[in-house]
Each structure stands twice: as C-alpha cells, then as structure tokens.
Amino acid sequence: PIYALEGSVFIGGAVIQWLRDELQILSHASESEKMALAVEDSNGVIIVPAFTGLGAPYWDMNARGIITGLSRGVNRNHIVRAALEGIAFQVNDLLVSISKDLDGDISVLQVDGGAVANNFLMQFQADILQIKIDRPKNIESTALGAGMLAGLGVGFWKNPAELKAVRETDQIFIPTMSDDKRTELLSNWKLAIRKVQYT
C-alpha cells in the first residue's frame, strides 16, 4: 500500500502575486529572487500571508494576514524577502507537523511548482527546514505526473518503481544557516503567527 500525508497552506507563491498586482512592489514574480538577495535580511519584517485564514497545522479560518516589523529602514526589497521567507516558514510548520505524524525526521524534501525556480526561496527553505531541498529539472510536476500515470495505464512502465528514474534532479540545496539564526527567525515567526490567530 501507498500512503500520503498532505499539508495545505492557503497562500504560498500567491503572496508574490499580491505584492505584484495589488501593491505593485515588483513588476514580475521572477524579480523577487534578485530583490530578496539585494538585502542582507528582511530587516525584522515578517509577513504572514493569512489572506484567507491559516491552513495546516493551525486551521484557523478567521486568521488574517499581517506585515509586522516595519520601520523607516524597510524598503521594498525587505518586504519581498519577508514574503518569500513567509512561504518557507509555512512549509516548516507543515514539516514539523508531518514529522510528528510520521514519528521520525525527513531528510530530503522534493519540491515542484513555479515558486521553486526561485533560488533564494529554495536556499532559505533548506536553511529553515534544516534539510536538503531537491529541485527537479522539470518543475511543473503536475503535467509530468499525469503523463506518468498515463504511461503506467497503457503499460509503458510496468510498475511505479520504474517512475523514479524519470524524475531528474536539477539542484540540491544544502542548509548553511547557523542554529542560533534559525532559532531566532522561527521564534519571530511564531510570535507573528500568534498575532494573526483569532482567539
């Protein structure tokens, strides 16, 4: 048998679309990597993109988003960086919950989707999760998966084990952040989460 655990967040990469379309902080989502790397850190800014509530593991439909830590020294690059970091923090929350359910640690996270083209996000995610991030050459895995299932259905592949060879790795991101820095960032994230939760 094959089992799956799913964790759902409501707003991930869409926070960058929001910065682009509603706040007009950037012109194209692809600019977010360069903007995030233009600053050393988020300058204390944290974005919790709970525009439609918080998904797993909080399941708080009444929570609403927040941008916290603003000061006169904050610029658009800090805000874009904080938005990308918020995506990784949400993935960390999911991974912590899933690890508890599995009663074990996860050593590698295989990622896909448009947001994984962002090298800053992938490296920050590796740093926050403290695990390797495995990005495939084909980041649009939905179409690939449909093709794989079709291939299994018509007998092109004999069993699901053969499909592992189809997925090719583009890059592995290795954690480099210090434990102290990671602990500080996660502590600040948890404080921001508490601010948005409906009690």
What CATH code is carried by the domain that includes residue 22? 3.30.420.40
Does the residue 111 lie in any domain? Answer: yes
Residue 26 one-letter amino acid: L
Which pLDDT does position 7 carry in this prediction?
Answer: 87
Cα–Cα distance measured from residue 46 to residue 30, given in angstroms and rounded to the nearest whole number: 21
CA distances from residue 10 to 19, 53, 79, 88 in whole angstroms, order as listed: 16, 7, 20, 13
Helix boundaries (H) for the chain: 14-21, 31-37, 76-102, 119-129, 141-153, 179-196
Residue 32 domain boundaries: 14-196
Instruction: Please give the tally of structural domains in the chain.
Output: 1
Residue numbers of the chain with a pLDDT score lower than 70: 1, 199
Does the residue 2 lie in any domain? Answer: no
Which pLDDT does position 199 carry in this prediction?
Answer: 60
Does the residue 179 lie in any domain? Answer: yes
Does the residue 105 lie in any domain? Answer: yes
Does the residue 6 lie in any domain? Answer: no
Does the residue 7 lie in any domain? Answer: no
Which pLDDT does position 155 carry in this prediction?
Answer: 93
Which pLDDT does position 91 carry in this prediction?
Answer: 97
- Helices 14-21 and 76-102, packing angle to 10 deg: 160
Which pLDDT does position 150 carry in this prediction?
Answer: 94
